[in-house]
Amino acid sequence: MKSIPTMLLAAALALAACGQKDGAANGPQAAASAPRPALTVTVAHPERQNLTREITANGNIAAWQEASVGADVGGLRLADVRVNVGDVVRKGQVLATFDAAPVQQDQAQARASLAEAEAAHADARGNAERARAVQSSGALSQQQINQYVTAEKTARARVEAARAVVGSQALRVRNTQVLAPDAGVISARMATVGQVVAPGTELFRMVRQGRLEWRGEVMAEDLPAIRAGQAVRIDLPGAPDAAAPPLTGTVRQLAPTVDPKTRFAIVYVDLPRGGPARAGMFARGRIAIGQGEALTVPQDAIVMRDGFAHVLKLGEGDRVQLLRVQTGRLAGGRVEITGGLDAGARVVVQGGAFLNDGDLVQVVADSVPKAPAAPANQAQTAIK
């Protein structure tokens, strides 16, 4: 039979063993109930950068001026067409010729009529001179003298009329050659060999001096910031190519009126000659209006939700807060923030697309490498 102290010692050991079993059983449950990070992320602080201020607009590329080349003579057959669409021509170059034979025959007839009128005028002038010579002798009456003088004047008028007809026929002969009114590029051709046209019929259309312009539509509130001489970067249709950068144009003038229906005004921008631009293209342009400091975040920090731009702000306890922000220009891998974010906040950069508001995260870095600042003339369009 055991003694009482021995029994008390055994009971104490049994209670200790039960306590160890309970602690071992509750340990995994306590560890499982602790919150676990949803994702490992990197964060960064917003930075201020000097960016080019731009106004973005859309518009058409058109000819600076178009010239319509028509027929100045009618009823003649086109004998030769010497240019085609796309040809570069100089001022005064022959574009087409008409069959000049009918007009040359009319010109010969007009010259013969002039010679006849000049002969009649010479005879009338001689009679008038003789009549004036005997006027004081009384051999001829005053009425007869006046008749000779009037005949002389009539013959002189007929000579002038015949000369005018000869000049008109000479002009018709010259007009059988269709000449370019200015240097430029042929943009349309309606002339066909063998065609008989009426006076005024359009035969060609040309872009004067080969000059093109971009007609951008800007909002009325942007007009005060736009001035003649400002640089404009034109993005032609298609993906931009590093070997073929966007065209750089220059603001020439602003339209004097604003469309009362659309509330847009037209900005006329001169484009460089000989470039890839073609009349009729629809292009997007960016008008540089100056430079200014802007608050920017890495482009990867922007999360699009429901069609709007958001960032995930790192809060207390490493939990993120989804904030809707207003974005502006994009340059050098960074996005301008125009509203909705404090300059001292920390935003999630890597992994933000998979997080929701209030998620717990694990931060592995408090900053990311800074992207090189983009040159002032390489600021891209804003994120909408």
Whether the CB-CB separation of 41 and 364 falls below 8 Å is answered with: yes
Whether the CB-CB separation of 361 and 355 falls below 8 Å is answered with: yes
Neighbouring CB atoms inside 10 A of 118's CB total 15
What is the average pLDDT value for the chain, to the nearest integer? 83
The DSSP output letter for 370 is: P
Q: Is the pLDDT of residue 258 over 80?
A: yes
Q: 58 has which bridge partners? A: 217, 284
Q: Is the pLDDT of residue 24 over 60?
A: no
State the average pLDDT over residues 18-39.
54
Q: 202 has which bridge partners? A: 70
Whether the CB-CB separation of 291 and 51 falls below 8 Å is answered with: yes
Q: Measured between alpha carbons, how far is 296 from 345 in angstroms, rounded to an integer?
A: 12
pLDDT of residue 240: 52
53-102: pLDDT as tens digits = 888 899 999 999 999 999 988 889 999 999 999 999 999 999 999 999 99
CA 155 from chain center: how many Å? Answer: 65
Which position has the higher pLDDT, 248 or 19?
A: 248
Least Cα distance to 93 among 17, 21, 154, 177 occurs for 177
Whether the CB-CB separation of 241 and 276 falls below 8 Å is answered with: no
DSSP letter string over 95-159? EEEE--HHHHHHHHHHHHHHHHHHHHHHHHHHHHHHHHHTTTTTSS-HHHHHHHHHHHHHHHHHH
The DSSP output letter for 319 is: B
pLDDT of residue 366: 52
Least Cα distance to 269 among 54, 62, 55, 52 occurs for 62
Q: Is the pLDDT of residue 9 over 50?
A: no
Q: Is the pLDDT of residue 196 over 60?
A: yes
Q: Measured between alpha carbons, how far is 350 from 336 in angstroms, rounded to an integer?
A: 18
pLDDT of residue 140: 81
201-211: pLDDT as tens digits = 999 999 999 99
Backbone phi, then psi, for 193, in 5-degree steps? Answer: -60, 135
Structure tokens at 23: 């602690």
Which position has the higher pLDDT, 368 or 110?
A: 110
Q: Measured between alpha carbons, how far is 44 from 40 in angstroms, rounded to an integer?
A: 14
State the average pLDDT over residues 212-227.
92
Q: Which domains does the chain have, with CATH numbers?
A: 39-51+292-378 (2.40.420.20), 56-64+209-290 (2.40.30.170), 67-98+177-208 (2.40.50.100), 100-175 (1.10.287)
The DSSP output letter for 264 is: E
Which position has the higher pLDDT, 144 or 214?
A: 214
108-166: pLDDT as tens digits = 999 999 999 999 999 999 988 888 888 778 778 888 888 889 999 999 999 999 999 99
Helices (H), the chain: 4-33, 101-133, 142-174
pLDDT of residue 94: 95
pLDDT of residue 379: 45
Structure tokens at 263: 């509330």
CA angle 273/278/280 to nearest 5° reads 135
The pTM assigned to this predicted structure is 0.61
Torsion (CA) 226, 232, 237, 238 in degrees, nearest 10: -130
Q: Measured between alpha carbons, how far is 297 from 382 in angstroms, rounded to an integer?
A: 14
259-293: pLDDT as tens digits = 999 999 999 999 998 888 889 999 999 998 877 78
